[in-house]
Amino acid sequence: MRRSYLNCSQMLRLLLSLLVAASAGVVGHSRNPSICELVDAQLPGRVSYPGTAGYNNSQKAYFAGQERDLSPGCVFRPTNTDDVSRFVKLVGSERQSGRSPRGSRPSSPKFAVRAGGHSLWAGAANMNGGITVDLRSLNSVVVSDDGAVARIGGGAVYSSDVFPEVVKHNVTVMGGRIPGIGVGGFTTAGGMTFLSRRNGWTCDNVYGYEVVLASGEVVYATASSSPDLWLALKGGSSNFGIVTRFDVAAFPQDLMWGGVILFNYSQSVLEGHAEAFSNFMRPENFDDLAMMSIIFGFTNAGGSPTFSVSDAIFYSDGVEFPPVYQNFTSMPGILPVNTLALNNVADLVNGFGAVLPQSVDRIYELVYSFKTSDAALYKQLFRAWEKWTDTIADIQGVSVQYLIQPLPVTNGTNSLGLTPNAKDGVTVCITATYPNAADDKVVEKRVKAFLEGQVKILRKKDLFIPFQYLGYADKSQDPIGSYGRAIKRQLQAVSRKYDPNGLFQDGISGSFKVFA
């Protein structure tokens, strides 16, 4: 086994950092160097500390205020897979050396891992103290000569790194539909995309993962090599290692049609959407080129309660106003202002993002799923949504989105626990944004009350599905548990095999743990 030693310059760097600490008032007793200092000594030039430009730029790039409010001891920005491997070996070594006298539980230098940094809850991809690993320099995108495979770095962002490159080759990949989404967290969570009704989840289309295990070993997991790890990474999040490259299917793609339609908010428009969406979801109307979502909005940010409704509709073939969307595009109440157009996927994502905030102060989101039914169900759910907004209208500056969309039609090569080829699944996320941290508890309580009310309606009709999409779930939810007991046990077995000392259970901040 190859061992890593400090060379002379690295040793000098470490000694200098200790002398600086001593001059700050630690003289007179010894102390162990922090994990930040150790990583900085072994991997110089990749660690940034509070107050530096690198640190501040990393912190400012998080989407949610809850993540920006956290203060890691330092930020480590690896430039290649070997950097990540050396980091994990160092953390693992420090963890083992910190075992208690009884050897029952190792102490753990804490770290967080972020790619795009678009997660919503505090600690999902950042932390207080410890070290945050910012993967965004691992952003390479290489399309194979035959255009069938894209090899994408684990820190790449779809809107800025991936889509601008793949469109040059007249192909696309399964990726995020709004700006700022990172490949790493999105893909290991599952990944919902424009092509989800045809090609399933993003993770259904991963051929191989280059992943750094808890030992620091780098493996390439595929269906034939480490198949258990390959399957576990398809929905298992960051429980098994740090993925430094995803090799994914690329699909021929010229122009795609779509955008956002806005409506005047009225009861007839709500009822029209109930009819149109239930019709869209009927098996006989299934069109695998179509992916859409309905977005109901409520805000008091302008000083008075305001409702809105819009549709985000996309068609992966270059056809304008396809028949599958006729009930939406011809609905009375539609406003003349919309973003419907033929575009390549890169421009489509950026255009969609133009109507969305680039960051938020405070945000809270919950997710649930169910099987589709007739228009009466949707009318009942929509009325309950509208009535519930009265309970949150007193929160200063609050804006709420109630987003409903089809679940991807999976081929079953994942760990999500959904029925392969099922076309009747629907998922909903309710998202509240607001400016004041003092309102966190009351917002969480009221949004949870909304979810409970929706679930009660669905359970009575025997339509509720336990599945919670990890990419939309809050830390108070249990997406991995929602995959089912048998799958969770499989994921736990994979964790024990590849991470026997639990580095990615105890050492890493955030994520949803398989042993929770």
For 461-501, the pLDDT digits (tens) are: 999 999 999 999 999 999 999 999 999 999 999 999 999 99
Measure the CA–CA gap between 155 and 77, rounded to whole angstroms.
Answer: 10
| pLDDT at residue 29 greater than cutoff 60 | no
Pick the last residue of a domain from 134, 152, 172.
134
Asked if 337 and 415 sit in the same domain, the reply is yes
More confident residue, 193 or 98: 193
Q: Is residue 264 part of a domain?
A: yes
Please tell me whether residues 241 and 128 are part of one structural domain: no
Of 419, 426, 429, the C-alpha closest to 484 is 419
Residue-wise pLDDT for 451-468, tens only, equals 999 999 999 999 999 999
pTM (predicted TM-score): 0.89
**Residue 426 structure tokens:** 């629907």
Q: Which residues pair with 153 in a beta bridge?
A: 245
Whether residue 243 lies inside any domain: the answer is yes
Q: Domain total for the chain?
A: 3
**pLDDT confidence band for 6 (50 / 70 / 90):** very low
Domain-embedded: residue 216: yes
- Give the span between the Cα atoms of 69 and 60, in whole angstroms: 9
Give the strand pairing for 74-76 and 47-48.
antiparallel
Q: Per-residue pLDDT for 100 more than 60?
A: no
Query: 407-451 pLDDT, tens per residue?
Result: 999 999 999 999 999 999 999 999 999 999 999 999 999 999 999
Average pLDDT over residues 347-352: 86
Say if 289 falls within a structural domain. yes
Give the domain CATH number at 94: 3.30.43.10
* Same domain, residue pair 301 and 443: yes
pLDDT at residue 33 in the model: 64
Looking only at the bridges linking them, the beta strands covering 74-76 and 131-134 are: parallel
Stretch 68-76: mean pLDDT: 93
Same domain, 145 and 294: no
Share of the chain above pLDDT 90, in %: 78
Q: For residue 126, what are its two tokens?
A: 């950042």
Query: Of the given ranges (33-47, 161-175, 398-412), which has the lowest mean pLDDT?
Result: 33-47
pLDDT given at position 419: 96
pLDDT (average), residues 73-98: 88
Does residue 248 sit in the same domain as residue 284? no
Q: In Å, what is the CA distance from 447 to each residue of 386, 429, 514?
A: 13, 10, 26
Residue 490 lies in a domain: no
Using CA atoms in the order 386, 390, 391, 397, what is the torsion angle rounded to 10 degrees? 100
Domain boundary among 253, 279, 301: 253
Q: What is the CA radius of gyration of the chain?
A: 24
pLDDT mean across residues, the chain: 89
β-bridge pairing 111-114 and 171-172: unpaired
Both 364 and 472 in one domain: the answer is yes
Count CB-CB contacts under 10 A for residue 55: 21
**Crossing angle for the helix pair 375-388 and 440-460, nearest 10 degrees?**
160
Last residue of a domain, one of 253, 283, 309: 253
- Residue 195 and residue 248 in one domain: yes
Instruction: Check: CB of residue 508 under 8 Å from CB of residue 111.
Output: yes
Same domain (yes/no): 383, 410: yes
pLDDT one-digit tens code per residue, 350-400:
887 777 778 889 999 999 999 999 999 999 999 999 999 999 999 999 999
Same domain, 78 and 220: no
Q: What is the pLDDT of residue 124?
A: 83
Residues 121-142 have a mean pLDDT of 91
pLDDT at 96 over 80: no
Q: Is residue 269 part of a domain?
A: yes
Q: Are residues 316 and 365 in the same domain?
A: yes
As separate numbers, helices (DSSP H) first and strands (DSSP E) second, the chain gives 15, 20
Positions of E strands within 131-202:
131-134, 141-143, 149-153, 171-172
Q: What's residue 303's pLDDT?
A: 77
pLDDT at 95: 66
Shared-domain flag, residues 177 and 316: no
| Neighbour count for residue 23 (Cβ, 10 Å) | 9
Q: Write out the two tokens for 256.
A: 């795609």
What's 407's DSSP letter?
Answer: P
- Domain contains 492: no
- pLDDT one-digit tens code per residue, 253-278: 999 999 999 999 999 999 999 999 99
Q: Residue 11 region, left (φ>0) first, then alpha (ψ -120 to 50), else beta?
A: alpha
Percent of the chain with pLDDT over 70: 91
Q: Do the beta carbons of residue 237 and residue 468 sit within 8 Å?
A: no
- Of 29, 41, 16, the residue nearest 94 (C-alpha): 41
User: Domain range for residue 90?
Assistant: 35-134
